[in-house]
Amino acid sequence: MSGRFAAEVGVVLIAAVMAVSCSQQPPIVLPPGAPTAPVTAEAPSPEPAPASNFGGSAPGSLISAEPIEDIAVDITELGATATRVVYRSTSGVTGEPTEVSGTVVIPGGTAPEGGWPIVSYGHGTTGVLEACGPSRYANLLGSAPIIAALALNGFAVTMTDYQGLGLAGSYHPYLDSKTFGYNMIDAVRAARNFMPTLSSRWAAYGVSLGGMAAWAASDRNAEYGDGLELVGTAAMVPVSDMTGLADAAANETMTRAQYPLLMYALHTLAISHPEMNLDDYRSGFAKERWDDLLECVPPGSLEVPELQTRLQASDLKPVSREATDRLRGYLSEMALPKQRSTTPLLVMYGGEDELILESWTEKALQRACDFGDVVEYELHPGEGHGNLDSSRSMPWVKSMFAGQRPVDTCELNR
C-alpha cells in the first residue's frame, strides 16, 4: 500500500512486468529496454455498443453510466472505452440495498464468441471518504495501468469503488469483507447491464484490500452470485483476517504501515457500531489530527504522509482490556473466510509483509482449507507487501477461464 501503505506487488501481464502500488495500486515497472506503453500499429476500434439496461431494483441494476472522457492514456491507446457507472448493491453490515459507483472498461476490437469475459478487479486502499473513489479520477487513483493490461489481455474489466467511496449516501465499511464481496459481484452484473453482450463468465482479481474484496467475492458467490459463472479468484497479499491488529495495538507492537489501516477501521467501525466510543482507541496526536489523517492520499492533503510520521504507538492504544476485546471481536466479524468457496482460489503472500503478517494470512488459509476450499497458495519468503513476485497470477486466471484443473495446496498438505 503506497501513499498510505507502500504496496508494490509485481504482476506479469502479457510481456511487461507491472507492479502494484498506490495503496496497493499499480504503477508500471518495466524490464530494462522495454517500451513504456503497449506498441500497436493502430488501436482497434470498439464494437458498436448495444443498448444498456437501466432501471430495476435488483443487485447490479444500472442506475447511471457516463463516459470517462479524460481517462488515462494507458486505456485510450488500446482503443478501449471507460465508463463510470452507478449500480445497486447490498450492505454486508445491514443487508439493506445500497448504491455504489465504479468503472467499466471495454476492450477495443471484436469480442470473442460468447462476449468478452470479465475480470472484476479489486483496488487497494484509497481512503475511507467519499472523495476517495477511483472512478472520479482519470488515472483511477493508480489502477489505470493494470486495468489497461487486463483489457489488453482480452478482458472486460469492472472495478467497484466499494460502498461509500466516490458516491454520497452511505459510509465506507472498511475491512468489511461481506460488503466488499457483494460490491465485487454486483460490479459484474452492472457491467453486463451496461453491455449486455458481455460474457457471464468472470474472475475476481485483487491486491491487498482488493485481495480481500476478491476473496470475499468467492466467499459470497454460492449464496449471492446467481446468474454468473465465477471461474476463479486471485488474491494477492490479501487483507484477510486482521483480528491480530487489536492485540498489536494494545501491546504497542503495530508496524508503522499498520497505523493508517487501524485508523480507517476504527473510523468506520464507529459508524457501524454507534455504541463504540472512538476515544477508547485514540489519544494524543491521533485524536488531535484525526480528520486530517483520514484525508485521501492521493488526492487529498500532501501533508498527510508527514502527519503519519508523527503518530506514536501509544496514540492508538485501547484504553482497557475490555476495549481491546471489543475491537478484536469487531475485526473477527469482518474477517475471511466465513464459509466454503465453491470455486478455486489463488492466494500469494510474503514472509516479510509488514502490513499483513504471514501468520495472519495463514490463519485465514487454514480456515479455508478446513472448509474444504480448493486453494493454491504460495508463501514467498523474503518478500513483503511491496515487492511480492506475483507473476504467475495472470496465467493462473487465464488457465481458470480455459478450464484447466487447479492445484489444491490444501489437499497436498493434508
Query: Any idea where the domains of the chain sit in the sequence?
Result: 9-241+335-412, 244-333
Rounded average pLDDT over 172-183: 98
pLDDT at 414: 76
Rounded average pLDDT over 380-407: 95
Higher pLDDT, 19 or 117: 117
Pairing of strands 16-20, 9-13: antiparallel
Rounded average pLDDT over 28-52: 48
Band of pLDDT at residue 92, cut at 50, 70 and 90: very high
Residue pair 208/356 in contact by the 8 Å Cβ criterion: yes
Phi, psi of 395 (to 5 degrees): -60, -35
> What is the percent of the chain where pLDDT is above 70?
87
Interatomic CA distance for residues 83 and 71, integer angstroms: 9
Is CATH 3.40.50.720 the right assignment for the domain spanning 9-241+335-412? no
Band of pLDDT at residue 28, cut at 50, 70 and 90: very low
**Total residues belonging to the chain:** 414
pLDDT at 296: 86
pLDDT at 303: 80
pLDDT at 20: 33
> What is the percent of the chain where pLDDT is above 90?
83
| Model confidence at 4: pLDDT above 60 | no
Kindly report which listed range (6-15, 149-158, 169-178) carries the lowest average pLDDT score: 6-15
pLDDT at 110: 93
Kindly report which listed range (65-69, 228-232, 265-269, 292-296) carries the lowest average pLDDT score: 292-296
Tell me the DSSP string of 103-166: EEEE-SBPPPTT---EEEEE-----SSGGG-GGGSTTGGGTHHHHHHHHHTT-EEEEE--TTSS
Kind plus residue range of the DSSP H or E element containing 207 = strand 201-207
Please state, rounded to an integer, the average pLDDT across all residues of the chain: 89
Band of pLDDT at residue 301, cut at 50, 70 and 90: low
Band of pLDDT at residue 298, cut at 50, 70 and 90: low
Higher pLDDT, 412 or 84: 84
pLDDT at 396: 97
Map grid coordinates 454507534 to a residue: 274
Band of pLDDT at residue 79, cut at 50, 70 and 90: very high
Report cis status (omega within 30 of 0) of the bond before 337.
Answer: yes
